[in-house]
Amino acid sequence: NFTAEVVPQAPEDPLFGLVRAFRADQDPNKVDLADDILHNDPELNHEYAPISGIASFTSKAAELILGGADSPAVKEKRVASFQTISGTGAVHLGALFLAKFYKGNKKVYLSDPTWANHHQIFTNVGLPIASYPYFSKETRGLDFEGMKSALLGAPERSVVLLHACAHNPTGVDPTLEQWKEIAEVIRLKNHFPFFDSAYQGFASGDLLRDNAAVRYFVEQGFEFVVAQSFAKNFGLYGERAGCFHFVTAPAPDAEATVTRVASQLSILQRSEISNPPLYGARIASIVLNDPKLFSEWEENLKTMSGRIISMRKALRSKIEELGTPGTWNHITDQIGMFSFTGLSETQVQKIRSDYHIYMTKNGRISMAGLNTRNVDYVAKAINAIVR
């Protein structure tokens, strides 16, 4: 039944292949600029969570992304929240829901570039994808005009995927003013916004600043969905803590809409995973529900993002000190964990073979992989290979 013609060998995921190559590399100077981190402690029983997840977690998760307990969406009970297998599972649940129930233009518009997994998550549930310009190679910043005109040109009621903050892989975010214009275009064309929030608190260190775009869409009364990951901001990568939120627009029957949508999400969730995992959600729930732990967490986020920001400064200034050809302001202009260095695929190969420095082949580095001990080495290597 399953010959090579029917089931061809799938290519290895490039990111996980990169991790494997890094682990196998014996060079003492090797530097991993692909992501890591981990931690935490237990308190377990092993009963099933409800299908929609741990309520104390999902309700606080909704508040976190939608603007607190006073968020109109939260207060007016216009939100259905489902705990998911981290952010990936949340994007998938949203994709599955739209594939089954969305009656507008089912094409999903993704930024070019975007997190590679977006392509296959939407395609795998049968939703066609298209792209909108996002990154300008010239400025290594946002191609705002390109983005706007593509969204204006897309058929009415298309699905538009937006990174809530710390765009992956470019580290380039719209300003709040630009978000307002994007919202205007989306409103004008009746597009359906699909937010992916994987880095709240990790970008600026400020939870409110990092959800400003989502809060603006709430404020403007949009109907939309959000996929929320707790992998990065809680260091819960492998525990798979995430949440999917459906937010309906203000309307007399909004609560009824949410009830109906939730009933269908329950069926989808049941057929996919039945019950979401407990451990990570428990940890997040404990922190989100305890004001003291919450403010400690906020401090941690500031430290972590502050470290990333200071590494950006260090890398840029060391590269500039060396008189490296080109402009390097994009390193500090970009935000969040990732930086699009602008290195070509050939340069990426060369820095790996000559200097044992690992980054994805599109030239994306994770700032979390830099530290005071290796930043000099990395700057020198970049200087050497771009010459």
Catalytic residues: 115, 196, 232
Of positions 53, 67, 87, 205, contacts ligand PMP by CB under 6 A: 87
Q: Does 163 bind ligand PMP (CB under 6 A)?
A: yes
Q: Which is nearer to ligand PMP, 301 or 385 (CB)?
A: 301
- How far apart (Å, rounded) are the C-alpha atoms in residues 352 and 378? 11
Q: Does 239 bind ligand PMP (CB under 6 A)?
A: no
**Rounded least distance, CB 184 to ligand PMP, Å:** 24
Q: Which is nearer to ligand PMP, 167 or 189 (CB)?
A: 167
# residues near ligand PMP by CB under 6 A: 12
Q: Which is nearer to ligand PMP, 237 or 355 (CB)?
A: 237
Q: How far is CA 46 from CA 57, 224, 270, in A?
A: 17, 34, 18
**Rounded least distance, CB 258 to ligand PMP, Å:** 24
Characterize 327-338 residue by residue with b for buried, 16 or more Cβ atoms within 10 angstroms of its Cβ, and e for exposed.
Answer: ebebbebbbbbb
Q: Which is nearer to ligand PMP, 218 or 241 (CB)?
A: 241
Q: Which residue do the tokens 């970049």 mark? A: 382
Q: Of 215, 273, 289, 327, whose CA–CA distance to 90 is shortest?
A: 273
**Rounded least distance, CB 275 to ligand PMP, Å:** 18
- How far apart (Å, rounded) are the C-alpha atoms in residues 54 and 48? 10
- How far apart (Å, rounded) are the C-alpha atoms in residues 118 and 280? 23
**Rounded least distance, CB 86 to ligand PMP, Å:** 3
Characterize 76-90 residue by residue with b for buried, 16 or more Cβ atoms within 10 angstroms of its Cβ, and e for exposed.
Answer: eebbbbbbbbbbbbb
Q: Please answer whether residues 195 and 164 qualify as being in contact, where contact means their C-beta atoms are separated by less than 8 angstroms.
A: yes
DSSP 47: P
Q: Which stretch binds ligand PMP (CB under 6 A): 80-88, 136-144, 255-263, 265-273?
A: 80-88
Return the sign of the alpha-carbon dihedral for residues 23, 24, 29, 31.
negative
The site map against ligand PMP for 123-152 (x = CB under 6 A) is: ------------------------------
Q: Does 92 bind ligand PMP (CB under 6 A)?
A: no
What are the phi and psi torsion angles at 172 (to 5°)? -105, 125
Q: Please answer whether residues 383 and 322 qualify as being in contact, where contact means their C-beta atoms are separated by less than 8 angstroms.
A: yes
Q: Which is nearer to ligand PMP, 160 or 381 (CB)?
A: 160
**Rounded least distance, CB 84 to ligand PMP, Å:** 9
Q: How many residues does the chain have?
A: 387
Of 323-362, binders to ligand PMP (CB under 6 A) are: none
- How far apart (Å, rounded) are the C-alpha atoms in residues 335 and 2? 45
Q: Does 242 bind ligand PMP (CB under 6 A)?
A: yes
Of 32-51, binders to ligand PMP (CB under 6 A) are: none
Binding-site ranges for ligand PMP (CB under 6 A): 86-88, 115, 163, 168, 196, 198, 229, 231, 237, 242
